[in-house]
C-alpha cells in the first residue's frame, strides 16, 4: 500500500486496511467482527480496565486488549481462538461474579451490554458459590440519577466522562479493590449540566434515570428519533413513550451536531408536555370570558379579523410576533400569511437587532474542533448552548485548539481560554470596533470606553493573527444597539486577513433562531435573507401598539409581557390592541390578554424541520400523539381562507417542499436529504453594507448598567417548580463588582432592590468581579423574577441598586 497513513492487518483471516492509529476494536468493526467491550467508549478513548476485549495477536506473548492496541503493519489478529474464548469466558465470569442478576427488574434489561456479551461470549453458567457482594441498591447521586452499586462493574465510563468530556471530575472512584465505588466528589450532588449522559453510557443498569426507574421495559417503548427543542444546538435524541406517555429521553448520537451527548435540560426538561398550564383548546374571549371553539373555526375567524383590519387601516396596522421556538414549516407559513396574503412586513421574532447571513463562511459545529482558534464573543455556551460548551471544551482539551474570549461577563469557559477579555457592559460595539481596527490597522481603542487595556487588545489581535483557521462563535442576543453591524464588520475584517480561513457560528440561544431568520421572520428581510422594505421590529410593534397605530398582533409562541424589555408598558400596549391573537402551547401572561387563542402542539407533539446554529437542517419527529391539529394546518387554514389559490398540504413535508422551492439556500433540503444526519442549508449571503458608527452608550445620572445573564435552568413555563431539574433553580441574585459594592456599602448576601422603568426586582448581592465596574449582572433565574421589566429595550439599560 503506497499510502503511509493506511495500515494493513488481518483479523480472523480477513484482510482489512484502516488508518494509522485505529484501535483494533474499531478495525474489527470494518470487517464485521465484534469484539466485546464494557469500559471502551469511542468518545472516551482507550482505557483497558474491563479486559473484555482481549484478543490474540501473532508474535505477542500475551493476549492484548483490542481497545488499547492500535493497528501495526501486518498484524495478525484472532478474536475467536480457543485462548481468546477462554479469556472472554473468564472475564465474563469475573464480571458476573458479584453482579446481582436482577435483570428481570433492571431498567437496562433488553439493551444491556452485559446481557448481550454474556449471551454471545459467556459460558452460560457460573461457578460462584459464595454470597454475592451486598451493596446499596438505591443511592441518589442527584435528584435525577440513582446508582445501584450492586450492578456496577467499575468500568469507569462515568467517571471518565465527567473527567474527560465534562471536564468537571464530579464523579470519582472511591475505595479500593472489590470495595471500589462510584461516588460524587466530596459527596456533593452530581449536578452538572450534562450529568444524564452517564445513564446512557453505563454498560449495565447501575446508573439509572430516577424518573424512569422501574417504569417500563425498554422493549415496550415506542421510540421516536427526534430533536431537542430547548436550544440552538438541536441535539438528536430518542423520545421513548409507552401508551402515549413520555417515559424517557436518551441520546441519539450525531457527531455532526451533538457528538453523542445531550444536556440535562434535553433529557429531564419535559414536564411541560403534561403541564396543567398547557393550552389545549382554541377559544374566543367574549365579554371577558373565554369560550371554547373549534380550532379551524378559530383560524378562519383570525384570518377574517386580520383581513378586515387590513382593509380598514392598511397592512401596516397588523403585525406578527413569532418566536425562534417554532419549526421552519410553521414559521414559513406564518411568514407567507403576513407577507404575501396580508401584505405587511411587520414580522419579527426577537427583541434585539440581527441580520441574516455572514460576510464569511457559516461554520458548522465540526469547525470548532478543526480550527486553530475559537473566538467566543458575548456568548456563554454553558448556560446558553450546553452541547456547544462540551464541543469547545473538547476542542481545547483534546484537539489543541486555542480559545479567546471577548465578553462583558466572566463565564465558566474562561478557565479554558488562552485569553479572556472583559469589555464594559454596553461597550460591545466599541470593543468590536476596537478589535476590528486593531486587526485592520493597529490601535487598541479607548480603554476608558471599552474597558479592555491596550495590552490585552494587542494580545487578542496577535492571537487572532496567529491562527490559521479562526472559528468565531458569537451570541447576537448579547449585543446591544446596532453592534451586530459592527460584529459583521469585524468578521469581514478577519475574513480578509491573508492566510487566515475564517467562519462564524451565530450562537443564538433559541432553538430555531437561524431558521426563523431564514424563514424571513424579520422586519427587513424576506425568506433566505432577501432584503425587503422595512416593516416594524418587535419593539417597534409594541411602541406602535402603545400609540394605537398598530391594531392587531398575532403572537406565535411568544410571551412579550414577561420576555420583552419594558415590563408593564408592554402589557399596557397589548391591551390597547383591537385584536390580539395568541397561538401558543402554554397559558402565558400574554395569552391572558388575548381575544382569540389557538393551541400549539410544541415539541414532542409537533413535527417539522429546524435549522441549528451551525446551519444544519434536521427533522424533529413527532414522539407523542395528540388529537389537536398540527400548527401548520391551523396556519394553512388561515392562508387558504384568504387566498384565492389555496394550497393543500397533506403532511408537513409538503410545506418543506415549498420551502425548498421558495426559500433561497433550502433548495437541497427535502425529506430524503435530511433523513440521517440532517443537511446544512446553503448559507445566506450577507448584505451587510457600510461600517456603522459606534453608538454612544446612553448615560444615566445614577445607577449601574444592567446585564441580564441567561441561565440554562430557569424556572419558567418550560421548567416548572415540579420539574425534576428544580434542584438547579437559584434564588434571585445580583452580581456586583467589588468596587461598586464598596461604593454602595454592600456586603456579600445583602438584600438589594433593583429598580428601573417603574419595575422592581429583589435580589441577593453576590460580590464578584463577573463584570467590569459600573454594571451589575442579574442572572435570569425565573420568568416571574421580573428582570426583563427592568430593561428598557434597545440599547443599554440602567438600574438603581439600593439596599433592600
Partner 1 sequence: MKILFKNIDMPGLTSLSVYEGQGGYQSFKKAFAQKPEEIVEIVKASGLRGRGGAGFPAGLKWSFLAKDVFPRYLVCNADESEPGTCKDRELLEKNPHLLIEGMILTSYACQVGTAYIYYRGEFQHAADLMDKAIEEAYAKGYLGKNIMGSGMDLDLYTHLGAGAYICGEESALLNSLEGRRGEPRLKPPFPAVEGLYAKPTVVNNVETLSAVPWIISEGAEKYAAIGTEKSKGTKLVSVSGHVKKPGNYEIVLGMSTRELIYDLAGGIRDDNKLKAFIPGGSSTPMLPADKVDVGYDYESIQAAGSMLGSGALIVMDHTVNVVEATLRLSYFYMHESCGKCTPCREGTRWMWQILGKLQAGIGTNGHVDKLLDICDNMSFKCFCPLGDAAVGPVASSIKNFRSDYEELVKKLQGGAVSV
Residues in touch with partner 1 (CB under 8 A): 46-52, 54, 61-63, 68, 86-87, 90-91, 93-95, 97-98, 127-128, 130, 153-154, 156, 172-173, 175-180
Rounded CA separation 388/394 (Å): 10
Contacts of 432 (CB under 8 A, 6+ apart): 377, 406, 483, 486, 487, 489, 490
Residue 24 grid coordinates:
483494533
**At its nearest, how many Å lie between partner 1 and the CB of residue 137?**
20
- Residue number, 50 or 191, with CB nearest to partner 1: 50
**At its nearest, how many Å lie between partner 1 and the CB of residue 49?**
5
- Residue number, 46 or 443, with CB nearest to partner 1: 46
- Residue number, 51 or 671, with CB nearest to partner 1: 51
Residue 265 grid coordinates:
435540560
**At its nearest, how many Å lie between partner 1 and the CB of residue 86?**
7
**At its nearest, how many Å lie between partner 1 and the CB of residue 416?**
18
Rounded CA separation 132/117 (Å): 20
**At its nearest, how many Å lie between partner 1 and the CB of residue 127?**
6
Rounded CA separation 761/804 (Å): 10
- Residue number, 91 or 801, with CB nearest to partner 1: 91
**At its nearest, how many Å lie between partner 1 and the CB of residue 60?**
10
Residue 548 grid coordinates:
394605537
- Residue number, 56 or 200, with CB nearest to partner 1: 56
**At its nearest, how many Å lie between partner 1 and the CB of residue 93?**
7
**Helix and strand counts by DSSP (H, E) for the chain:** 23, 37
- Residue number, 164 or 532, with CB nearest to partner 1: 164
Angle, helices 113-121 vs 82-97, to 10°: value is 140
**At its nearest, how many Å lie between partner 1 and the CB of residue 172?**
7
- Residue number, 97 or 285, with CB nearest to partner 1: 97
Rounded CA separation 135/179 (Å): 9
Beta bridge partners of 222: 241
760, 707 contact by CB (below 8 A): no
| Stated length of the chain | 804
679, 668 contact by CB (below 8 A): yes
- Residue number, 163 or 658, with CB nearest to partner 1: 163
**At its nearest, how many Å lie between partner 1 and the CB of residue 72?**
12
H or E element in which residue 172 lies: strand 171-174
**At its nearest, how many Å lie between partner 1 and the CB of residue 37?**
12
Q: What DSSP line would sit under 90-115, residue for residue? A: HHHHHHHHT----GGG-TTTTS-HHH
Environment class of 129 (CB within 10 Å of its CB; exposed 0-12, middle 13-18, buried 19+)? exposed
**At its nearest, how many Å lie between partner 1 and the CB of residue 48?**
6
**At its nearest, how many Å lie between partner 1 and the CB of residue 168?**
15
Note the helical H segments in 652-777: 652-662, 738-744
Rounded CA separation 50/37 (Å): 8
The arrangement of strands across the sheet holding 402-407 comes to 361-362, 501-506, 469-474, 373-377, 402-407, 419-422
Residue 412 grid coordinates:
465558566
Contacts of 124 (CB under 8 A, 6+ apart): 118
**At its nearest, how many Å lie between partner 1 and the CB of residue 372?**
22
**At its nearest, how many Å lie between partner 1 and the CB of residue 128?**
8
Rounded CA separation 791/678 (Å): 38
**At its nearest, how many Å lie between partner 1 and the CB of residue 68?**
6
Torsion of CA 389, 517, 229, 706, to 10 degrees: 60
Phi, psi values for residue 238, rounded to 5°:
-110, 125
- Residue number, 91 or 634, with CB nearest to partner 1: 91
Give the per-residue SS3 of 280-333. CCEEEEECCEEEEECHHHHHHHHHHHHHHHHHHHCHHHEEEECCCCCCHHHHHH
3-state helix, strand, coil in the chain (%, to 5): 30, 25, 45
Rounded CA separation 43/50 (Å): 17
Contacts of 663 (CB under 8 A, 6+ apart): 332, 518, 519, 520, 527, 528
Listed in order, strand segments (DSSP E) in 257-298 are 282-286, 289-293
**At its nearest, how many Å lie between partner 1 and the CB of residue 199?**
22
- Residue number, 86 or 575, with CB nearest to partner 1: 86
- Residue number, 59 or 179, with CB nearest to partner 1: 179
Residue with cell 422586519: 523
- Residue number, 24 or 406, with CB nearest to partner 1: 24
CB count, 10 Å around CB of 119? 10
**At its nearest, how many Å lie between partner 1 and the CB of residue 119?**
18
**At its nearest, how many Å lie between partner 1 and the CB of residue 25?**
14
**Nearest partner of 189 among 781, 727, 733, 732, judged by Cα:** 727
- Residue number, 180 or 673, with CB nearest to partner 1: 180
- Residue number, 55 or 585, with CB nearest to partner 1: 55
Torsion of CA 775, 776, 782, 783, to 10 degrees: -30
- Residue number, 49 or 293, with CB nearest to partner 1: 49
Residue 483 to residues 357, 476, 631, Cα–Cα distance (Å):
15, 9, 35
Residue 326 to residues 151, 278, 332, Cα–Cα distance (Å):
42, 16, 10
- Residue number, 154 or 801, with CB nearest to partner 1: 154
- Residue number, 97 or 726, with CB nearest to partner 1: 97
- Residue number, 180 or 530, with CB nearest to partner 1: 180
**Nearest partner of 105 among 151, 161, 68, judged by Cα:** 151
DSSP 313: H
Amino acid at each position: 500500500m503506497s499510502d503511509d497513513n493506511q495500515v494493513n492487518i488481518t483479523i480472523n483471516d480477513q484482510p482489512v486496511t484502516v488508518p494509522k492509529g485505529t484501535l483494533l476494536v474499531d478495525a474489527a468493526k470494518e470487517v464485521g467482527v465484534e469484539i466485546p467491550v464494557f469500559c471502551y467508549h469511542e468518545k472516551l478513548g482507550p482505557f483497558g480496565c474491563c479486559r473484555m476485549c482481549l484478543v490474540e495477536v501473532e508474535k505477542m506473548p500475551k493476549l492484548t486488549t483490542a481497545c488499547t492496541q492500535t493497528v501495526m503493519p501486518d498484524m495478525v489478529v484472532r478474536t475467536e481462538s480457543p485462548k481468546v474464548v477462554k479469556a472472554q469466558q473468564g472475564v465474563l465470569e469475573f464480571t458476573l461474579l458479584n453482579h446481582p442478576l436482577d435483570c428481570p427488574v433492571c431498567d437496562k434489561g433488553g439493551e444491556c451490554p452485559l446481557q448481550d456479551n454474556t449471551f454471545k461470549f459467556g459460558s452460560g453458567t457460573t461457578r460462584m458459590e459464595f454470597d454475592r457482594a451486598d451493596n446499596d441498591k438505591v443511592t441518589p447521586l442527584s435528584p435525577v440519577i440513582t446508582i445501584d452499586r450492586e450492578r456496577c462493574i467499575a468500568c469507569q465510563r462515568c467517571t471518565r466522562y465527567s473527567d474527560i468530556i465534562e471536564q468537571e471530575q464530579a464523579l470519582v472512584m472511591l475505595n479500593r479493590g472489590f470495595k471500589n465505588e462510584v461516588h460524587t466528589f466530596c459527596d456533593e450532588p452530581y449536578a452538572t449540566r450534562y450529568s444524564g449522559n452517564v445513564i446512557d453510557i453505563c454498560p449495565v443498569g447501575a446508573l439509572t434515570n430516577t424518573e424512569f426507574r422501574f417504569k417500563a421495559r425498554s422493549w415496550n417503548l415506542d421510540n421516536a428519533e427526534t430533536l431537542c427543542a430547548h436550544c440552538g444546538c438541536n441535539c438528536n435524541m430518542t423520545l421513548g413513550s409507552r401508551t402515549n406517555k413520555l417515559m424517557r429521553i436518551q441520546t441519539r448520537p450525531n457527531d455532526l451536531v451533538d457528538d453523542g451527548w445531550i444536556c440535562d435540560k434535553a433529557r429531564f426538561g419535559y414536564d411541560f408536555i403534561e403541564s396543567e398550564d398547557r393550552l389545549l383548546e382554541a377559544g374566543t374571549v367574549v365579554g371577558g370570558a373565554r369560550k371554547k371553539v373549534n380550532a379551524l373555526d378559530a383560524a378562519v375567524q383570525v384570518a377574517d379579523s386580520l383581513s378586515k383590519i387590513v382593509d380598514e387601516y392598511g397592512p401596516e396596522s397588523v403585525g406578527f410576533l413569532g418566536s425562534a421556538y417554532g419549526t421552519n414549516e410553521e414559521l414559513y407559513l406564518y411568514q407567507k400569511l403576513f407577507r404575501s396574503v396580508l401584505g405587511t412586513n411587520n414580522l419579527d421574532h426577537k427583541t434585539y437587532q440581527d441580520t441574516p447571513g455572514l460576510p464569511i463562511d457559516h461554520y458548522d459545529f465540526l469547525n470548532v474542533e478543526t480550527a486553530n482558534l475559537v473566538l467566543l464573543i458575548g456568548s456563554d455556551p454553558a448556560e446558553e448552548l450546553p452541547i456547544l460548551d462540551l464541543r469547545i471544551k473538547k476542542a481545547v482539551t483534546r484537539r489543541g485548539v486555542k480559545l479567546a474570549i471577548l465578553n462583558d461577563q466572566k463565564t465558566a469557559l474562561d478557565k479554558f481560554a488562552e485569553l479572556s477579555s472583559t469589555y464594559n457592559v454596553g461597550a460591545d460595539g466599541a470593543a468590536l470596533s476596537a478589535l476590528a481596527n486593531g486587526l485592520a490597522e493597529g490601535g487598541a481603542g479607548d480603554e476608558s470606553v471599552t474597558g479592555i487595556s491596550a495590552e490585552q487588545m494587542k494580545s487578542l489581535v496577535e492571537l487572532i493573527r496567529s491562527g490559521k483557521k479562526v472559528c468565531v462563535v458569537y451570541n447576537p442576543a448579547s449585543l446591544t444597539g446596532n453592534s451586530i453591524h459592527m460584529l459583521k464588520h469585524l468578521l469581514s475584517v478577519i475574513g480578509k486577513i491573508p492566510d487566515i480561513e475564517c467562519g462564524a457560528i451565530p450562537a443564538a440561544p433559541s432553538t430555531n433562531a437561524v431558521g426563523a431568520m431564514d424563514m424571513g421572520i424579520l422586519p427587513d428581510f424576506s425568506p433566505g435573507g432577501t432584503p425587503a422594505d422595512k416593516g416594524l421590529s418587535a419593539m417597534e410593534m409594541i411602541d406602535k401598539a402603545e400609540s394605537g397605530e398598530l391594531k392587531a398582533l398575532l403572537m406565535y409562541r411568544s410571551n412579550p409581557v414577561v420576555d420583552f424589555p419594558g415590563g408593564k408598558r408592554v402589557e399596557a400596549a397589548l391591551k390597547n390592541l383591537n385584536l390580539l391573537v395568541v397561538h401558543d402551547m402554554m397559558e402565558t401572561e400574554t395569552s391572558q390578554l388575548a381575544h382569540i387563542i389557538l393551541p400549539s402542539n410544541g415539541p414532542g407533539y409537533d413535527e417539522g424541520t429546524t435549522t441549528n446554529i451551525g446551519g444544519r437542517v434536521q427533522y424533529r419527529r413527532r414522539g407523542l400523539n395528540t388529537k389537536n391539529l398540527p400548527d401548520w394546518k391551523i396556519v394553512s387554514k388561515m392562508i387558504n381562507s384568504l387566498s384565492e389559490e389555496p394550497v393543500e398540504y397533506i403532511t408537513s413535508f409538503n410545506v418543506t417542499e415549498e420551502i425548498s422551492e421558495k426559500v433561497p439556500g433550502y433548495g437541497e433540503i427535502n425529506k430524503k436529504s435530511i433523513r440521517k444526519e440532517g443537511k446544512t442549508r446553503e448559507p445566506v449571503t450577507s448584505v451587510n453594507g457600510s461600517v456603522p458608527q459606534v453608538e454612544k452608550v446612553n448615560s444615566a445620572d445614577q445607577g449601574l448598567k444592567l446585564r441580564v445573564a441567561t441561565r440554562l435552568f430557569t424556572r419558567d413555563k418550560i421548567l416548572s417548580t415540579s420539574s425534576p431539574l428544580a434542584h438547579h433553580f437559584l434564588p434571585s441574585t445580583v452580581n456586583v463588582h467589588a468596587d461598586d459594592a464598596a461604593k454602595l456599602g454592600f456586603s456579600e448576601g445583602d438584600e438589594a432592590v433593583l429598580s428601573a422603568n417603574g419595575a422592581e426586582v429583589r435580589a441577593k448581592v453576590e460580590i464578584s468581579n463577573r463584570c467590569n465596574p459600573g454594571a451589575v449582572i442579574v442572572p435570569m433565574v425565573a420568568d416571574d423574577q421580573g428582570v426583563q421589566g427592568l430593561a428598557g429595550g434597545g440599547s443599554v439599560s440602567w438600574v438603581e441598586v439600593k439596599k433592600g
